[in-house]
């Protein structure tokens, strides 16, 4: 068992692969957070806990005046009984009071990991892979029960937490806040890392010192969003890719979230994470429960890289699901940047035919194939083929494309509705809206009210009918605006603040239904690029369009940041035309290829317009990628040089047996008369010698301790790159 209750110490000891998490029951009532960090086999709990007996203005919850919860390291802090820091939850009773007082009631340790009904979650394939601790806390006065769940995997340094709030009383509760996890640290000597950005500039790494007061990242957009990813990490000041303590928090959810770090008067740090309490309320009637989504907490005692590799493995193998979870992904060509809305069947077939000759494996038909959609101002919701563009229908096109030896994928934006659509004319109340208020458009569209069962059913029906109509083996599921005027026509007044979360539950239900109904389809999620690149969606769709920004230089930062949490198999990356459509920058096809090959590779350009010479280069890229794609998509990933630190970026992939590796080196701008430069590799075996690009044989020790010199032929020119293939002898 990786979880035990040590009776003599009144403590729960949770042992992950190389880390330990300890909880102690204090005064037979309070759950104290004792420890989370490197492995301690036989912890002496009382020598870890220390009470400073500090003076403060805080009150004492018991008769014993020496104790206050305000400096108590808590597992699930509440509001109203002396802890004045951020609470993890808050309940309002019908009489208006917001005070709760939870006491330890009981616990259960189960093998495996119970399902979170209706929510995305990490799972076990065999029960023995993990144990779960369920601790029940009770407020006897009002009969509120809270069940805290902690899962520990034997093979991962992860503790997975969630909470279930149960109304066992005889009046209704209003849940004002229901976060998933809270962790108290005994000092504040940390940096805070987040992945922040915007559309076309997603998931840039931001690192800043943790200081007194509260620092938060959050989304109020109705989606996880482009601007902040539902992830933070606390890093010891000395933490680098290969050194230091790292505590990662990743939220398995795709809607509004909050991750907050509070440093209090004693310079201790509290981290909380969960559904954003902003514009959230949940009516909990008698006998009902509210289940929070889960937070995956990863500890690394050896730097940021190890944290990332833990997330990669766990998310690739035990969050993503389905046929493609561990299958190599096809090389696609997507027609979006090639044609935008201006295409017909002949144009698509020409692209598919030429691409097939170069070894590309699947054509994705993007936006514009349905309704009357010649621009982005109409037809979302009218999911029937536009016969003006595809006169013989979808099946004929798919058959032709299949005839070239190519698979076929199709774009949908199933959560949206255009005011100019037959669907909207028939059901004007099917969108999120507030009575008598203006319905603000984003990209000329409104959002379907997925909290409604009738809307969910209608969309399931429409998608099913298109997907069954032809041999479609790939779906790109897009979502192109965030929420405004949030309200649902079917929810009663006192449940309107549930809309955004109910919307997310509806999205998960539709995704679950469609992906189970079409298990042979590879689903790619997208939200104007990476606007919903989060662990929640990854549970249903194993890959995500990383960013609408296909500029290779910009992609270095975007892909580097994304790799903090998400595995390469989840990241799609395409070579597009130059000058780049997002930045106007021109780079060589080699450079663009080397950047895109560091993800799930594909193209997003009009291949019919390429010169023979360019086509030859593409053909070579496709061959190169096919030879190493399993390594890229499923190998262990090591970041070597950060694009945020200068003009050089490098990263590498190592096979599990360490016999095969691929190293990508990129230079953005050149420096004349530059100093000598080398970079060290990582993750190789010191037992092996490696043949580098079929030429020199160099030991693993030399490659990791001395490194590789920057190739002299790269000294000249901007936007240069090189791929090193390493094979153990």
Tell me which of 478, 594, 606, 636 binds ligand DGJ, using CB under 6 A: 478
Q: Which of 70, 131, 420, 478 is catalytic?
A: 478
Indicate the residue among 169 and 530 with the shorter CB distance to ligand DGJ. 530
Q: What is the DSSP string of 211-258?
A: -SEEEEEE--SSSS-SSEEEEEEEEETT--SSSB-EEEEEE--SS-EE
Q: Residue 541 CA to chain centroid, in angstroms?
A: 11
Q: Residue 411, interface with ligand DGJ (CB under 6 A)?
A: yes
Q: Residue 528, interface with ligand DGJ (CB under 6 A)?
A: yes
Least CB distance to ligand DGJ at residue 55 (A): 56
Indicate the residue among 308 and 544 with the shorter CB distance to ligand DGJ. 544
Q: Which of 382, 548, 549, 590 is catalytic?
A: 548
- Residue whose Cβ sits closest to ligand DGJ: 367
Least CB distance to ligand DGJ at residue 443 (A): 8
Least CB distance to ligand DGJ at residue 547 (A): 8
* Residue 180: partners with Cβ closer than 8 Å, 6 or more residues away: 161, 162, 163, 251, 273, 274, 275, 292, 293, 294, 295
- Alpha-carbon distance 582 to 551, whole Å? 7
Helix (H, G, I), strand (E, B) or coil at 273: strand
The stretch among 40-48, 168-176, 182-190, 526-534 that binds ligand DGJ (CB under 6 A) is 526-534
The stretch among 150-158, 350-358, 524-532, 578-586 that binds ligand DGJ (CB under 6 A) is 524-532
- The sign one gets for the Cα dihedral 196, 199, 201, 202 is positive
Least CB distance to ligand DGJ at residue 468 (A): 23
C-beta separation of 175 from 79 below 8 A: no
Indicate the residue among 280 and 545 with the shorter CB distance to ligand DGJ. 545
End-to-end CA separation in angstroms for the chain: 40
Least CB distance to ligand DGJ at residue 528 (A): 5
H-run or E-run covering 284: strand 282-284
Indicate the residue among 343 and 634 with the shorter CB distance to ligand DGJ. 343
The stretch among 299-307, 521-529, 571-579, 714-722 that binds ligand DGJ (CB under 6 A) is 521-529
* Residue 212 structure tokens: 């007194």
Q: Which of residues 76-115 bind ligand DGJ (CB under 6 A)?
A: none
Q: Report the helix count and the strand count for the chain, using DSSP H and E.
A: 13, 38
Tell me which of 336, 383, 477, 651 binds ligand DGJ, using CB under 6 A: 336
Query: What are the phi and psi torsion angles at 119 (to 5°)?
Result: -120, 150
Indicate the residue among 324 and 545 with the shorter CB distance to ligand DGJ. 545
C-beta separation of 47 from 37 below 8 A: no
Listed residue (237, 240, 231) closest to 202, CA to CA: 231
C-beta separation of 290 from 165 below 8 A: yes
Pairing label, strands 571-576, 543-545: parallel
Pairing label, strands 522-525, 474-477: parallel
How many CB atoms are located within 10 Å of the residue 349 CB?
17
C-beta separation of 373 from 379 below 8 A: yes
Q: Which of residues 251-280 bind ligand DGJ (CB under 6 A)?
A: none
Least CB distance to ligand DGJ at residue 695 (A): 39
Indicate the residue among 269 and 544 with the shorter CB distance to ligand DGJ. 544
Indicate the residue among 381 and 528 with the shorter CB distance to ligand DGJ. 528
Least CB distance to ligand DGJ at residue 474 (A): 13
* Residue 444: partners with Cβ closer than 8 Å, 6 or more residues away: 376, 377, 378, 418, 419, 420
Indicate the residue among 268 and 544 with the shorter CB distance to ligand DGJ. 544
- Alpha-carbon distance 128 to 145, whole Å? 28
The stretch among 272-280, 498-506, 525-533, 624-632 that binds ligand DGJ (CB under 6 A) is 525-533
Q: Which of residues 172-211 bind ligand DGJ (CB under 6 A)?
A: none
- Alpha-carbon distance 580 to 587, whole Å? 8
C-beta separation of 506 from 451 below 8 A: yes
37 burial via Cβ count (<10 Å: 0-12, 13-18, 19+)? middle
Indicate the residue among 179 and 475 with the shorter CB distance to ligand DGJ. 475
Tell me which of 179, 448, 522, 526 binds ligand DGJ, using CB under 6 A: 526
Indicate the residue among 336 and 424 with the shorter CB distance to ligand DGJ. 336
* Residue 233: partners with Cβ closer than 8 Å, 6 or more residues away: 192, 193, 246, 247, 248, 249, 304, 307, 564
Least CB distance to ligand DGJ at residue 476 (A): 6
* Residue 612: partners with Cβ closer than 8 Å, 6 or more residues away: none
Least CB distance to ligand DGJ at residue 558 (A): 13
Indicate the residue among 432 and 526 with the shorter CB distance to ligand DGJ. 526
Size of the site for ligand DGJ (CB under 6 A): 11
Tell me which of 548, 554, 590, 606 binds ligand DGJ, using CB under 6 A: 548
Least CB distance to ligand DGJ at residue 340 (A): 8
- The sign one gets for the Cα dihedral 183, 188, 189, 195 is positive
Helix (H, G, I), strand (E, B) or coil at 594: helix
Q: Is position 548 annotated as part of the catalytic site? A: yes
- Alpha-carbon distance 312 to 332, whole Å? 23
Q: Is position 429 annotated as part of the catalytic site? A: no
The stretch among 261-269, 349-357, 451-459, 523-531 that binds ligand DGJ (CB under 6 A) is 523-531
Least CB distance to ligand DGJ at residue 336 (A): 5
Tell me which of 480, 482, 515, 576 binds ligand DGJ, using CB under 6 A: 480
The stretch among 185-193, 355-363, 522-530, 687-695 that binds ligand DGJ (CB under 6 A) is 522-530
Indicate the residue among 31 and 526 with the shorter CB distance to ligand DGJ. 526
Indicate the residue among 293 and 529 with the shorter CB distance to ligand DGJ. 529
Tell me which of 247, 545, 560, 719 binds ligand DGJ, using CB under 6 A: 545
- The sign one gets for the Cα dihedral 440, 442, 446, 451 is negative
Q: Which x/- pattern, by CB under 6 A, does the window 361-400 give for ligand DGJ?
A: -----xx---------------------------------
Least CB distance to ligand DGJ at residue 555 (A): 14
Least CB distance to ligand DGJ at residue 378 (A): 12
- Alpha-carbon distance 558 to 582, whole Å? 14
Q: What is the DSSP string of 17-71?
A: SSEEEEEEEETTTEEEEEEEEE--SS--HHHH--------S---SSSSTT--GGG
Q: Residue 343, interface with ligand DGJ (CB under 6 A)?
A: no
Tell me which of 529, 536, 593, 683 binds ligand DGJ, using CB under 6 A: 529
Q: Which x/- pattern, by CB under 6 A, does the window 43-82 give for ligand DGJ?
A: ----------------------------------------
C-beta separation of 664 from 635 below 8 A: no
* Residue 120 structure tokens: 């995305």
Q: Which residues bind ligand DGJ (CB under 6 A)?
A: 336, 366-367, 411, 478, 480, 526, 528-529, 545, 548
Residues acting as catalytic residues: 478, 548
């Amino acid at each position: 068992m990786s979880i035990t209750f040590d009776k003599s110490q009144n403590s729960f000891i949770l042992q992950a692969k190389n880390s330990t998490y300890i909880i102690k029951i204090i005064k037979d009532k309070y759950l104290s957070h004792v420890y989370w960090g490197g492995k301690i086999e036989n912890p002496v709990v009382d020598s870890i806990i220390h009470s400073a007996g500090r003076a403060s203005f805080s009150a004492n919850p018991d008769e014993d005046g020496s104790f206050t919860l305000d400096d108590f390291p808590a597992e699930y802090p509440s509001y109203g009984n002396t802890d004045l820091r951020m609470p993890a939850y808050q309940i309002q009773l019908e009489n208006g009071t917001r005070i709760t007082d939870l006491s330890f009631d009981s616990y259960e340790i189960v093998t495996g990991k119970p399902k979170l009904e209706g929510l995305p979650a990490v799972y076990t394939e065999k029960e023995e892979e993990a144990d779960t601790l369920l601790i029940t806390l009770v407020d006897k006065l009002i009969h509120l029960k809270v069940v805290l769940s902690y899962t520990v995997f034997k093979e991962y340094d992860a503790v997975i937490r969630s909470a279930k709030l149960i109304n066992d009383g005889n009046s209704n509760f209003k849940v004002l806040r229901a976060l998933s996890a809270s962790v108290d640290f005994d000092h504040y000597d940390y940096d805070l890392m987040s992945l922040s950005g915007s559309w076309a500039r997603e998931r840039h790494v931001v690192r800043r010192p943790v200081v007194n007061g509260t620092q938060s990242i959050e989304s109020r957009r109705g989606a996880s969003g482009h601007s902040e990813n539902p992830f933070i990490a606390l890093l010891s000041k000395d933490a680098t890719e290969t050194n230091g303590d790292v505590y990662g928090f990743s939220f398995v959810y795709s809607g509004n979230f909050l991750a907050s770090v509070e440093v209090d008067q004693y310079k201790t740090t509290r981290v909380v994470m969960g559904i954003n309490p902003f514009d959230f309320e949940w009516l909990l009637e008698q006998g009902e429960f509210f289940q929070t989504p889960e937070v995956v907490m990863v500890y690394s005692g050896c730097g940021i890289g190890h944290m990332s590799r833990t997330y990669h493995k766990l998310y690739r193998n035990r969050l993503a699901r389905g046929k493609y979870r561990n299958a190599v992904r096809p090389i696609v060509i997507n027609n979006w940047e090639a044609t935008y809305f201006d295409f017909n069947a002949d144009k698509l077939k020409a692209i598919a035919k030429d691409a097939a000759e170069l070894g590309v494996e699947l054509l994705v038909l993007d936006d514009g194939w349905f309704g009357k959609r010649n621009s982005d101002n109409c037809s979302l919701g009218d999911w029937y083929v536009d016969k003006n563009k595809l006169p013989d229908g979808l099946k004929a096109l798919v058959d032709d494309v299949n005839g070239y030896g190519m698979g076929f994928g199709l774009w949908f934006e199933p959560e949206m509705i255009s005011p100019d659509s037959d669907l909207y004319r028939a059901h004007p109340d099917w969108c999120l809206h507030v009575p008598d208020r203006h319905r603000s458009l984003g990209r000329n569209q409104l959002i379907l009210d997925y909290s409604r069962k009738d809307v969910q059913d209608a969309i399931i029906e429409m998608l099913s009918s298109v997907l069954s109509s032809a041999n479609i083996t790939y779906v790109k599921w897009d979502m192109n605006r965030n929420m405004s005027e949030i309200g649902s026509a079917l929810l009663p007044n006192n449940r309107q603040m549930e809309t955004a979360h109910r919307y997310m539950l509806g999205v998960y239900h539709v995704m679950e239904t469609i992906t189970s109904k079409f298990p042979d389809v590879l689903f790619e999620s997208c939200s104007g690029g990476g606007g919903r690149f989060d662990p929640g969606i990854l549970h249903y769709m194993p890959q995500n369009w990383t960013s609408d920004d296909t500029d290779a230089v910009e992609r270095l930062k975007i892909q580097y940041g994304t790799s903090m949490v998400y595995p390469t198999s989840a990241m799609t990356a395409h070579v597009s035309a130059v000058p780049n459509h997002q930045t106007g920058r021109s780079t060589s096809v080699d450079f663009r290829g080397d950047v895109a090959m560091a993800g799930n590779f594909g193209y997003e350009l009009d291949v019919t317009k390429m010169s023979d010479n360019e086509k030859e280069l593409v053909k070579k890229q496709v061959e190169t990628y096919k030879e190493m794609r399993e390594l890229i998509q499923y190998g262990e990933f090591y970041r070597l040089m950060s694009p945020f630190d200068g003009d050089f970026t490098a990263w590498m992939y190592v096979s599990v047996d360490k016999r095969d590796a691929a190293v990508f080196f990129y230079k953005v701008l050149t420096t004349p008369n530059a100093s000598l430069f080398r970079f060290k590799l990582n993750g190789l075996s010191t037992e092996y010698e490696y043949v580098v690009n079929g030429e020199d044989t160099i030991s693993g020790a030399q490659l990791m301790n001395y490194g590789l010199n920057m190739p002299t032929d790269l000294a000249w020119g901007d936007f240069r790159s090189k791929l090193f293939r390493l094979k153990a002898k």
